[in-house]
Every structure is written in C-alpha cells, then in structure tokens.
C-alpha cells in the first residue's frame, strides 16, 4: 500500500521509533470481526473469541447466513467495537448515538441496554439512514427511535435530555486506510484540521443535550491529534466536563499526554485505527421548553384491527405509544419529548401494516419477538431458510392450522408468515431476498 508522503512524514515525527512497525502494518490485510447479539433468544458458539470483549469475535460472517439474517451476528471490526464497550450504558439509560450509520455503534449500545431505556439513533444522511434502519430492525431491538437530523435540530428538541451521548465523529478516516484504501484519496495534510472544525460544531450541539452527570463518548477512526487530543482539550477548556479513564486492553495505548484516553494502532492492537475519549458532564441542566408529549393517532378501526390481531397471535404487551404513519403502525417508546418537528426514519418498533379490514404483522416484529411472545411459531431448517430467503414457499406439516406464524430458523425469529393448507407462504421482504 502506497501511503501519502505527508502522512508518512507526519507519523514519522509523531511515532518516532514506533513508526516503522506502524507503516509495516499497512502491508497486512485488514482485520475482520463481528459481535453476537445478546437480545436474540438462541445463541451459538463461534471460534476466535476476542479476549476482554463480551460478544466479540475475529472473523467474517456471511450476509446470506441465517445467523446474519436473523440478527444474531453483526459485522464490526475490533477497534470500532471499543467505542460501544467504552460507553457500556446501563439498562434504563436514555442514550443518543449522534452519527450512527451504518449501525455498529447503535447495535452495540442496544446490547447493553437490554431492551430498556431508550436509544435515539441519528444519521443526517437520508441514504445512510435507510441502511441504519435495516440494521436496527435486524438486531431486533424495541426501544429505538431512528432520526434523520442535524445535531443542531436535535438539540432544539432534546435539551438536557440524555444520560449518554456517543459521537463517533465524521473524521479524516486515517484508521480506515487499510480497510478502505479509497479513503486515502480524500486525505490531505490539511484535511484533519478541516474535519476538526466540523467536529467542534457537532459537539457544541451534543453538549446541549447532555443531562447533569451525563456521559459523552467521543471517538474517531483517525490518529490525527487535531481531531483527537486537540478536541479533548477544547472540550475541557470550554465545558464543565471530567475526563474518565478508558481501560487499556488488547494492545490499546494511552492518548498523547492524555492517559485517560485510548488509541488503537494496527501494529499494537489487532484491528484498525480508533481513538476514544469519555467524559462526564458536571454542569447544570440546560433549560428546555415544556413541550407536549407524543400521543396515539390511531382511529377506532385501526385500534380494533391491531387489538384483534394481537389477541389472536401475540402474548406480547405493547408498551409504548401506538402511532400510524399512513398505513404503517409503530410502537413509539414512552417518555420522549414532542418529536413531531423531526425527520423520523423509524418511529420505534414497526408493528405492521393496516390493509383493507385487516392488519398484517411486519418483518421487524417477527425479528424482535421471542417464542414465548407469540402464540404460533414454525421452525424451518437451514435448507428451507435458503429457499425462503430466495422468495419461495416452504412445505410444512399439514397438521398445522392455518393462520399467522412467527417463522424461526436456528431458534431465532425471521418475521411472520401465513400457513395455508400445509404451505408456508413467503413473506420475506422482496428487497432483502437473495439466492
């Protein structure tokens, strides 16, 4: 790999005697990793566990595997996984993932929240927010609102609201050179300083949304001090924050003159590049306007259709606010401020669709529910899963009554589908099908 000359000169000066080993690491292949999903009902064993990191493994997973499609595994390289682990939110917390796509940090945070509290997962890019929604739904979490907003607009709604904010900031991407060589095309000597301007702007809005004693986890996938330690110093100079220590595991090293922060270099840590810092906000609560809450907007017919379906098919208590967006029904988490002015990509858990005089459950609902939360479940083999994912019907026992079933493979939900006369009709989303 041919690195930019200015990059080489910069890190020769910054790393000194460490520089040759650092540059040599760029000739090695990028390190792949994945996490398992503790929210899923049926777990599996995998090889190459990563020490000191719950749910984490080295290796690649196939996007066509049942483990991936049911949300049991999520691909994320090991250094990036340190961000969620450094955050480690406690169940019940209100958490914001401020720059969330494609979803690695959000799904990791959800593993800790255990379907309690709230995660607002935000992505300013509309295109990238669609990928984020898909990954959140596959993970099967219920306590998530996905927004498609700027940090500034979120701060108008969520002033002083969050117990924790995670910002994996847009950056110069130096830590991704090995994984994505195209990132070098955008890099220049001045690019880190340009990125730092944007990072400070986003952080200003983030600080407005932290509750007293709230935690901020700031990270980048770059080694540039302008975007890392310089940003930490700026935060400490301008806000009443306390820098918290991040344990150094698996070859992580302390930041430059900031021993509480953490750096990951590929010649020391088996993964790509990352920087992480963690703060506690010691200031007072931001004043926020009293705003009306969110209420259900269902008409009488919609309420009845949902209740009829739930009574016949579910043992699941829908805790939240039922809201319809057109014909789509969502379960919005409680205790949110009025979000009517925000661009919403996923308004909580997608329950399903109202059609003429009936309600049809969503793929997302079938991914999220466990076996004890549904009244009828049909397990299909891996061979049948391959056919089902390609859009085909599956033959099942003729003894099974007609009706809605949660489909499961390897013990985990794969959406809902109808059984009619011994045939499992195909309800796998057309946009996700593969052969």
Q: What residue numbers does the annotated binding site for S-adenosyl-L-methionine cover?
A: 99-105, 123, 168
Residue with tokens 């979803």: 103
Q: Which two tokens stand for residue 176?
A: 């991704």
Closest Cα partner for 113 from 135, 84, 86, 93? 93
Contact 122, 148 (CB under 8 A): yes
CB contact at 8 A, 100 and 75: no
Return the active site residues: 221
In terms of Cα–Cα distance, which of 106, 100, 103 is closest to 134?
Answer: 103
Residue 370 has φ and ψ, to the nearest 5°, of -95, 170
* Phi, then psi, of 179 in degrees rounded to 5: -75, -35
Which single residue is written with the structure tokens 């999903």?
37
Chain length of the chain? 435
Q: Count Cβ neighbours within 10 Å for each residue of 279-298 and write b for 16 or more, e otherwise.
A: bebeeeebebeeeeebeeeb
Distances (CA, A) of 397 to 261, 354, 374, 401: 58, 29, 19, 9
Q: What is the dihedral of CA 60, 72, 44, 377, to 10 degrees?
A: -140
Cα(152)–Cα(246) distance, integer angstroms: 28
Dihedral through CA 124, CA 127, CA 131, CA 134, nearest 10? Answer: 100
**Distance in angstroms (rounded) separating the CA atoms of residues 9 and 92:** 47
Phi–psi pair at 352, nearest 5 degrees = 160, -160
């Amino acid at each position: 790999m041919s690195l930019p000359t200015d990059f080489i000169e910069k890190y020769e000066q910054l790393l000194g005697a460490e520089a040759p080993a650092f540059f040599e690491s760029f000739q090695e292949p990028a390190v792949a990793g994945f996490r398992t999903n503790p929210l899923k009902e049926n777990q599996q064993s995998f090889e190459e566990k990563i020490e000191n990191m719950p749910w984490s493994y080295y290796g690649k997973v196939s996007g066509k595997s049942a483990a991936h499609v049911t949300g049991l595994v999520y691909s994320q390289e090991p250094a990036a996984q340190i961000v969620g682990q450094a955050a480690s939110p406690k169940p019940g917390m209100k958490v914001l993932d401020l720059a969330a796509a494609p979803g690695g940090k959000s799904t990791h945070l959800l593993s800790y929240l255990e379907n309690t509290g709230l995660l607002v997962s935000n992505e300013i890019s509309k295109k990238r927010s669609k990928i984020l929604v898909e990954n959140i739904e596959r993970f099967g979490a219920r306590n998530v609102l996905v927004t498609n907003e700027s940090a500034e607009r979120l701060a108008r709604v969520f002033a002083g609201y969050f117990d924790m904010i995670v910002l994996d900031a847009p950056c110069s991407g130096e830590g991704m050179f090995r994984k994505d060589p195209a990132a070098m095309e955008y890099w220049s000597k001045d690019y880190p300083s340009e990125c730092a301007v944007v990072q400070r702007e986003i952080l200003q809005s983030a600080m407005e949304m932290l509750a007293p004693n709230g935690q901020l986890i700031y990270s980048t996938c770059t080694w540039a001090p302008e975007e890392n330690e310089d940003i930490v110093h700026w935060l400490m100079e301008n806000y009443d924050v306390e820098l918290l220590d991040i344990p150094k595991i698996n070859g992580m090293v302390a930041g430059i003159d900031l021993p509480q922060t953490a750096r990951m270099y590929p010649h020391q840590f088996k993964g790509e590049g990352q920087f992480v810092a963690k703060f506690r906000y010691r200031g007072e609560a931001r004043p926020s306007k009293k705003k009306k809450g969110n209420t259900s907007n269902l008409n009488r017919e919609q309420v009845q259709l949902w209740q009829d379906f739930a009574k016949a098919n579910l043992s699941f208590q829908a805790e939240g606010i039922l809201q319809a967006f057109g014909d789509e029904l969502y379960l919005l988490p409680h205790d949110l401020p009025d979000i009517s002015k925000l661009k919403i990509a996923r308004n909580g858990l997608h329950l399903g669709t109202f059609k003429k005089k009936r309600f049809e459950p969503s793929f997302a609902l079938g991914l999220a529910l466990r076996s004890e939360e549904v009244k009828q479940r049909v397990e299909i083999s891996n061979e049948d899963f391959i056919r089902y994912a390609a859009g085909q019907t599956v033959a099942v026992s003729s003894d099974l009554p007609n009706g809605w079933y949660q489909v499961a493979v390897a013990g985990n939900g794969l959406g809902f589908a109808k059984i009619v006369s011994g045939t499992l009709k195909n309800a796998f989303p057309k946009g996700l099908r593969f052969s």
